[in-house]
Amino acid sequence: MNIKFGMIALTMALASSPAVAADLSSLKGPVPPPPPPIWTGFYAGLNAGYGWGTSNAVTTGAAPVYDTLASDPFWGTPVGYTAAANSGVATVNQSGFIGGGQVGYNYQWGPNVVAGLEADIQGSAIRGTGGQFGIVQFGPDLSGLNNLATGGGVVTAGVDWLGTVRGRLGYLVTPSLLAYATGGLAYGGVHADAAHSLAFSDSLPTFFPTFGGGGRYADTRVGWTAGGGGEWMFAPNWSLKAEALYYDLGSASFASGVMGAVDPDGTNLAVGAAPGALLFANSLATRVRYDGVIARVGVNYHFNGWMAAAPAVAFAPPIWTGFYAGLNAGYGWGTSNAVTTGAAPLYDTLATDPFWGTPVGYTAAANSGVATVNQSGFIGGGQVGYNYQWGPSVVAGFETDIQGSAIRGTGGQFGVVQFGPDLSGLTNLASGGGVVTAGVDWLGTVRGRLGYLVTPSLLAYATGGLAYGGVHADAAHSLAFSDSLPTFFPTFGGGGRYADTRVGWTAGGGGEWMFAPNASLKVEALYYDLGSASFASGVMGAVDPDGTNLAVGAAPGALLFANSLATRVRYDGVIARVGVNYHFDWGVAAAVARF
């Protein structure tokens, strides 16, 4: 019995010892959970997503500014009836990638309500192209003939960049999951380009030379936005958000050209007859609406996140080995901006005709030349990768990324060529012009990385590998041809479009700073080269309007000459960007080493 009481007393004494109690507590006590997120404070981050236009009907209306035909005794047509040929609606489906960054401030009221203010700006590749076609006929006129006008138009419109300043009001579904509504001011840079064509003839048939027309609009517009989303605080100081916003930058109307026709030889009007006399002219205006929906994801770093946590303790130097993911945003510049168009003769009646005898294909030079297309614009997207750290200073890895791109530009060229006298003693003049738009719609890379740790948290690296992307180009050409009578000959043509996914290479370098556990900020520059593309960009030519200008094969509408056009664009450039990464395995090796 005494032995039993002795054992009990010894056990109680040991249990009451402070040192032993502390040891038992350290072995059995549960690790306290981290405090709930404290949302109050400033934050900054990056975003990437996609946008769709919601009002895709682009309207062009034409109104008469001059009409000789209506009062002329040979014609007597209705005033301005030809304007209907260039009036209509084009469907322009604006869509494309967006990417950029945001800053904001939150204030948390109690356990569930968060209010804040956020401002963001994104580069945008939201754009689209559409066409329209119109035909109008009147007859018989006072001469007993039927008159036909056919018109067409191509419109390109889009949003080059987009920003918002918004209030946010949210409810904490859990301490780390915020659902919110948002709305406020929207602003952005927009553009539109319109190119129109017109053909006019009567039932002889006589093809009358036409002129015109296009226009361009570019401006910064202000409107409104509203939407909502969710934000998840997945780690101390870090949150991931997904949101959708409707934006409305309003509508814009702009003068998009004048279309008309002239009397080529002065025989088609009773009053005011003269070579080149104006038959009619119509003024065109185009209206575009800039509104749509953007859906995007983003990552934010909260400078005051988890403020209720215990004071920070010293931690081991960063261990870079492991997977990471993040977002990036930046700007790109093309480095090869010379876009070449070359024309080659397909058919040339003039060279062998006894009235002409001009050099074969000399008119092709009017549509040959070089346009300077300065491709540039915002980019934004995301990346994932893996690093492996060798020793204290060397880090090697592998990274893949993809970005939406607003890198694009527009340029023009002009050419004049003259020959004379020809076999009829006349001088012949051809003048041509062209407008080319080219750009990169999206861009991705798959690259190796090799770096040196300047400090345990600062990595300088070189990188290179595969580049791939979606590219496009549009070319629109014009031509005028006349002789010294003067006779203005009806011309036809021309443009073309190219779109493809191209593969090339990339190389560059940068620096990455591990500024907090699991978090790094990187700055880098890359050269990309997606090669060159040549595409058929139209056929340009001229016809004999009344069948009196050729000795052989004379007939109304007989082909005088035709030239085939090809345009060559190079897609290469430099992108400079910043990015933020979350490292899933940061410090794992250090934690293992301590134990």
**What is the SS3 string spanning 288-335?**
EEEEEEEEEEEEEEECCCCCCCCCCCCCCCCCCCEEEEEEEEEEEEEC
**Vertex 593: Cα angle to 589 and 595 (nearest 5):** 125
5-40 residue pLDDT tens: 444 444 444 444 444 334 434 444 555 565 677 899
How many domains does one find in the chain? 2
| Same domain (yes/no): 542, 428 | yes
The answer on 241 and 345 residing in a single domain is no
Closest CA to 98 of 169, 188, 185, 180: 188
Residue 146 falls inside a structural domain? yes
**Percent of the chain topping pLDDT 70:** 90
B/e letters for 334-362, b = 16+ CB within 10 Å, e = fewer, are beebebbbbbebeebbbeebebbebeebb
Mean pLDDT of the chain: 87
pLDDT per residue as tens digits for the range 236-264: 889 999 999 999 999 999 998 899 998 88
Q: Confirm whether 487 is domain-assigned.
A: yes
Q: Which two tokens stand for residue 169?
A: 């009001």
Contact 124, 406 (CB under 8 A): yes
Q: What is the pLDDT of residues 278-319, one digit of tens each?
A: 999 999 999 999 999 999 999 999 988 555 444 444 445 678
Read off the tokens for 148. Answer: 């036909």
Give 544-551 contacts, CB < 8 A, sequence gap 24+: 544/489, 545/206, 545/207, 545/208, 545/209, 545/264, 545/265, 545/489, 545/490, 546/204, 546/206, 546/264, 546/265, 549/355, 549/487, 549/489, 550/349, 550/353, 550/355, 550/356, 551/353, 551/354, 551/355
Q: If we measure between CA atoms, which residue out of 143, 289, 287, 275 comes closest to residue 203?
A: 143
- Whose structure tokens read 């003024």? 283
Residues 252, 120 share a domain: yes
The residue segments making up the domain with residue 387 are 326-595
Q: Are residues 361 and 302 in the same domain?
A: no
Residue 1 within a domain = no
DSSP string, 158-220: EEEEEEEEEEEEEEEEETTEEEEEEEEEEEEEEEEEEEEEEEEEETTTEEEPEE--EEEEEEE
23 domain residue, yes or no: no
Q: Of 6-15, 40-49, 548-557, which has the strongest mean pLDDT?
A: 40-49
Which H or E run contains 431? strand 428-455
Domain identity same for 237 and 337: no
Same domain? 304 vs 382: no
Per residue, what are the HEC states of 14-74? Answer: HHHCHHHHHHHHHHHCCCCCCCCCCCCEEEEEEEEEEEEECCCEEEEEEEEEEECCCCCCC
Burial of 511 (0-12, 13-18, 19+ CB in 10 A): middle
Kindly calculate the radius of gyration of the chain based on its CA atoms and give it in whole angstroms. 35
Are 114 and 108 in contact by the 8 Å Cβ rule? The answer is yes
Number of helices (H), then strands (E), in the chain: 3, 24
Residue 27 domain-assigned (yes or no): no
Q: Are 438 and 341 in contact, with CB atoms under 8 Å apart?
A: no
236 and 301 together in one domain: yes
pLDDT tens-digit series, residues 144-185: 999 989 888 889 899 989 999 999 999 999 999 999 999 999
Reported as a pLDDT band with limits 50, 70 and 90, residue 492 is confident
Of 292, 313, 334, at which residue does a domain stop?
A: 313
Pick the last residue of a domain from 287, 313, 339: 313
The answer to whether the beta carbons of residues 480 and 491 sit under 8 Å apart is yes
Q: Is residue 7 part of a domain?
A: no
Condensed to tens digits (0 to 9), the pLDDT of residues 90-115 reads 999 999 888 888 999 999 999 999 99
Task: Give residue 25's pLDDT.
Answer: 42
Distance (Å, rounded) from C-alpha 164 to C-alpha 106?
A: 17
pTM (whole model) above 0.85: no
Q: Domain check: are 269 and 331 in the same one?
A: no
Helix, strand, coil percent content, the chain, rounded in steps of 5: 10, 65, 25
CA distance 369 to 363: 13
Query: Six-digit token pair at 69?
Result: 């035909």
Query: Which of 124, 104, 128 has its CA nearest to residue 49?
Result: 124
Q: Which two tokens stand for residue 404?
A: 């939406």
Q: Each residue of 515-548: pLDDT tens digit?
A: 888 889 999 999 999 999 999 998 999 988 888 8
Two tokens at 334?
Answer: 């093309």
Tell me, yes or no, whether 362 and 292 share the same domain.
no
Three-class DSSP category at 83: helix
Q: Let me know if residue 29 belongs to a domain.
A: no
Residues 81 and 153 in one domain: yes
What is the pLDDT, as a whole number, of residue 292?
A: 96
Same domain, 567 and 482: yes
Q: 60 with 192, same domain?
A: yes
Query: What sign does the dihedral 242-243-244-248 (CA atoms) show?
Result: negative
Rounded Cα distance between 64 and 579, Å, is: 54
Write the CATH number for 249. 2.40.160.20
Any domain includes 12 = no
Boundary (domain end) residue, out of 285, 313, 341: 313
**Does residue 59 contact residue 288 with C-beta atoms inside 8 Å?**
no
